[in-house]
Amino acid sequence: MRQQSVEQGFRPPQQARSRESLQKVLAAAEHVLADGGIEEFTVAAVAERAGMSVGAIYRRFSGKDQLLHAVKDQLLGQLETAVGEALRSPAPGLDGVVGAFAHALARTFTRHDRIFPELLDGQRAEGRDRGLQALAAIQDAFVEAVQPCREEVRRPDRARAVRMAARTMIGSCVHRAATCRFWSDGLSWTRWATETTEMTLAYLGAPEDAEGERAVVRGSAKKT
């Protein structure tokens, strides 16, 4: 667990047995969220799923909100780890970095596709702060990974374009997770990653003229 967990009053376990018990609780919490949503997410429901007493959970968490925060913290940590690992050894070139980033996002959301929407719907101020911290971390990881192949970016302000690309990819991923139950795009997460990679590469590879307009767009307008 991260420092945020301590700030929320959560007491991170020190013993191996306690850490195993914690993972059992968090896994049970994920199942409750996936099966019943935020409306049915209670300490009692998690305790029953975990095969533990309610008191055992309250000895570690102050209540439902803190438990929910711990679940979100763990999943966001997994997202940060997955992106970091994918960007440590991507395929060569800008397309390799962008593809690795998009598919790392997709893989994490695929594993927890029924959990993230509930966490996004049920977040409070402290949950938003943790979420923004994770999004900033993976954006920075993407920017750093692009540096060796930044010459392939054809936008006049490369740094701004790379950050714009990262934010757009992340935003698309989060929006898709939040709305997938109500507004399906008919794509698998893998296909979403592939399509998003292609769109991002098209943007980063499209030059602008001196007035800030895409040359390809102006050329099309002249033809019409």
Kindly report the CATH number assigned to the domain that includes residue 35. Answer: 1.10.10.60
pLDDT for the residue numbered 5: 44
Mean pLDDT of 79-103: 97
What pLDDT, in 10s, does the model give residues 122-175? Answer: 555 556 788 889 999 999 999 999 999 999 999 999 999 999 999 999 999 988
Residue 224 lies in a domain: no
Domain check: are 94 and 168 in the same one? yes
The pLDDT confidence band at residue 190, using thresholds 50, 70 and 90, is very high
Give the 3-state secondary structure of residue 103: helix
With a cut of 60, say whether residue 218 has pLDDT above it.
Answer: no
In a domain, 223, yes or no: no
Instruction: Name the pTM for this structure.
Output: 0.81
Please give the pLDDT value at position 4. Answer: 45
Do 93 and 130 lie in one domain? The reply is: yes
Give the domain extent around 22: 13-61
Q: Do both 47 and 127 map to the same domain?
A: no
Whether residue 110 is found in the same domain as residue 87: yes
Is the domain of 134 the same as that of 182? yes
The answer on 74 and 21 residing in a single domain is no
**What pLDDT does residue 209 have?**
59
Q: How many helices (H) and strands (E) does the chain have?
A: 11, 0
Residues 188 and 149 in one domain: yes
d(CA 7, CA 18) in angstroms, rounded, equals 20
97 and 204 fall within a common domain:
yes
Do 137 and 175 have their domain in common?
A: yes
Residues found in the chain = 224
Domain CATH number, residue 96: 1.10.357.10
Helix/strand/coil (H, E, C) string of 64-93?
A: HHHHHHHHHHHHHHHHHHHHHHHHHCCCCH
Q: Does residue 219 lie within any of the structural domains?
A: no
Please tell me whether residues 43 and 149 are part of one structural domain: no
Distance CA 123, CA 39 (A): 13
CA distance 155 to 212: 9
Q: How far apart are CA 25 and CA 51, in angstroms?
A: 9
Number of domains into which the chain is organized: 2
Same domain, 57 and 80: no
- The predicted pLDDT at position 1 comes to 44
Give the mean pLDDT of 181-199: 93
Is 215 inside any structural domain? Answer: no
Handedness of CA 122, 126, 127, 128 (dihedral sign): positive
Could you say which of 38, 61, 84 is where a domain stops? 61
Quick one: 74 and 167 in the same domain?
Answer: yes
